[in-house]
Amino acid sequence: MDKTTSGWFNGFLGVLIFSGSLPATRVAVMDFSPVFLTVTRAALAGLLGLALLMIFREKRPGREDLVSLVIVALGVVVGFPLLTALALEHVTSAHSIVFIGLLPLATAIFGVLRGGERPRPAFWVFSCLGSALVAGFALSQGLSASPIGDGLMLAAIIVCGLGYAEGAKLSRRLGGWQVICWALVLSLPVMLVLTILTFPPSLAGVGAPAWAGLAYVSLFSMLIGFVFWYRGLAQGGIAAVGQLQLLQPFFGLALAASLLHEQVSAAMLVVTVGVVLCVAGAKRFAK
């Protein structure tokens, strides 16, 4: 398997894992506060990341890598999980998942700004078309229904796109799983303290679904998914492989419908199909 093909394969696995993040978060925030969920998932993943780095005796990042690691930590360890958890108090996971269709465009933009990539003009046509379909759907649903939830999701997309691009750039030197592990370890002291401070006074009312959601976002969304995702972005290109995120709403909507029994409208399905069709066009002109 050549490097580009391997990049797309790893990227696809990452997207598949991330697709369960918002439904799992939606379940978890039913019994946990968004802040507690955010810091606890980061703390648990940070402890696992620290263990991996120690087991494999990974070399510490250089001083020149610290700024990038801080950006990754603020973007994907703290920013995106917290903003989406807060948003899911106002909107359903099915509604929020559609906003994930904006991530490819955000990732591609930061791939140019931070990763030095230069996709061809036709690439931006397909990427913008997919994003426009998603944005158009959100507008058709009426942003006045939950301006806070939609605003938080848009903010989450921006910080996540930056974290993805910065992490992918750094993965070229440190390796994919090493980047997310070091970012988690960098934020671990603060996350542990905040976990203690925000710990619920009682766990009696926390159901099994909430525990399962916390376990998923801690192990898969916060760690394992990034192992494949950053490797894929580094191998196949940030802008190119980033378009695979257009598939994430499709998987996420299926999970929201099957696991949470949330209503998935025909409009949601049409938008999802439309953005999926944009992947092939964007891939062709990514380099």
Identify the pLDDT of residue 141: 63
Beta-carbon-side half-sphere exposure of residue 132 (alpha carbons within 13 Å): 7
Domain extents in the chain? 3-284
Q: Which of 167, 141, 118, 125 is nearest to 14 (CA)?
A: 167
User: What are 25's two structure tokens?
Assistant: 């978060």
Q: What integer is the mean pLDDT of 62-76?
A: 95
The pTM of the full predicted model, rounded to 2 decimals, is 0.88
Identify the pLDDT of residue 136: 77
Portion of the chain with pLDDT greater than 70, in percent: 97
Segment 4-59, tens digit of pLDDT: 889 999 999 999 999 889 889 989 999 999 999 999 999 999 999 999 999 999 98
Identify the pLDDT of residue 274: 83
pLDDT at 144 over 60: no
Q: What integer is the mean pLDDT of 89-116?
A: 85
Higher-confidence residue of 139 and 130: namely 130
d(CA 204, CA 54): 35
Identify the pLDDT of residue 142: 60
Higher-confidence residue of 159 and 85: namely 159
Segment 196-219, tens digit of pLDDT: 999 999 999 999 999 999 999 999
Q: Which of 275, 230, 279 is nearest to 136 (CA)?
A: 275
Identify the pLDDT of residue 190: 96
pLDDT at 143 over 60: no
d(CA 252, CA 145): 22
